[in-house]
Amino acid sequence: MTSEEKKVYLLLKAVIFHYHGLDELEKNDLETVAAQMDGKEELSWALDFVAEDYLTAFDRARAYLNNIIGDYPKDKRIDLINMVWQSNNLKGYVTEMEATAMLKLARDWNVERELIELVLK
């Protein structure tokens, strides 16, 4: 996995997790995933990106991700949305705010139908 792919993956998780406030389980998940992919620098970058301005973090991340992910093959875009959905389910539920954020990204990436199918499973 390239450094850019690690940034995309970790920023996506971080921005969705921060959407309602990062809890301990989500923080541990981010740190574990970053360690597994040898992405501690990329995690630090993602957390700094979010911390720069929490109020605009999602919109800024959405713009950043759309510039990169638009070129990804459809199956990779689906995998990224699925990863975020599964990560949010670690705590046993997904908040309405998180679901809305994921739907916005899925719509941007033309995988909204696939996300809805994943949710209904």
pLDDT tens column, 35-46: 999 999 999 999
Q: What is the pLDDT of residue 86?
A: 86
Contact 101, 64 (CB under 8 A): no
Residue ranges covered by each domain of the chain: 3-120
Alpha carbon distance 98, 88 (integer Å): 8
Residue-wise pLDDT tens digits, 39-91 = 999 999 999 999 999 899 999 999 999 999 888 999 999 998 888 888 888 77
Q: What's the gap between Cα 121 and its chain centre?
A: 20
Both tokens of residue 38?
């040898």
The better pLDDT of the pair 56, 22 is held by: 56
pTM, entire model: 0.87
User: Would you place residue 7 in the very low, low, confident or very high pLDDT band (cuts 50, 70, 90)?
Assistant: very high
Q: What is the pLDDT of residue 41?
A: 97
Q: What is the pLDDT of residue 103?
A: 92
Contact 91, 26 (CB under 8 A): yes
Alpha carbon distance 59, 24 (integer Å): 24
Across 88-111, average pLDDT: 87
